[in-house]
Amino acid sequence: MKLSLTRRYSFPASHRLFRSDWSDAENHRVFGKCANPHGHGHNYVLEVTVTGPVDPATGMIANLADLDSFVRARVLDDFDHVNLNEQIPEFRGAIPTTENLCRVIYNRLSGFSHARIERVRIEETAKNSFEYVAETAPSRETAEYEFQEEHS
């Protein structure tokens, strides 16, 4: 059997979907209300799934205290109550869609040393959710390279 453990976190943040190299009309045609100039926000829900062997001494794939403090330090401290376009370096020149947010957060978490980060799932609203699954455990460099390339 295969086991995984998933923890849910949340953080409110704002964003705006637009490209500076497009006209206002083009931005509104493609991104609609999401391109409104002053941005808008969501209560993002972040699910982090870890896999790996269960330590027989603890009964755990990963100690939740370790996972929680890692997610707090790598993600929540930076992403909570911020503007994603302005305050998250990975979104300089990239559009903070929730697809891209999944990848950015996966890249920040992939170095977790206690278990493998298998999946990052984000609910932007109760109706929209997105996920990034590390099917074959891509290296951090590869994932970042692909991300840069898509938005260069």
Partner 1 sequence: MIKLTRKLEFSAAHFYHSPKFSAEENRRVFGKCNSPHGHGHNYVLEVTVAGEPDPQTGMILDLNELKEILDREVTARFDHRHLNHDVPELAGKVPTCEELVAALWRILEPAIAPKIQHGRLDHLRLYESPDLFADCSRNGQ
Active site residues: 34, 81, 124
Least separation, in Å, of the C-beta of 56 and partner 1? Answer: 8
b (16+ CB within 10 A) / e for 31-44: beebbeeebeebeb
Identity of the residue, 13 or 67, whose beta carbon is nearer to partner 1 in the bound complex: 67
Of 13 and 115, which CB lies nearer to partner 1 in the complex structure?
A: 115
Which is nearest to 99 in space by CA: 51, 27, 144, 147?
Answer: 147
Residue 7 CB coordination number (10 Å):
14
Give the Cβ contact number of residue 47 at 10 Å: 15
Q: Which is nearer to partner 1, 80 or 144 (CB)?
A: 80
For residue 60, what are the contacts with CB-CB under 8 A and spacing of at least 6? 5, 54
Binding footprint of partner 1 on the chain (CB under 8 A): 1-9, 49, 54, 56-61, 63-65
60 or 82: CB nearest partner 1: 60
Least distance to partner 1, CB of residue 79, Å: 17
> Residue 133: what are its φ and ψ, rounded to 5°?
-110, 125
Strands (DSSP E) found in 71-147: 82-83, 116-123, 129-133
CB 34 → partner 1: shortest distance, Å?
A: 28
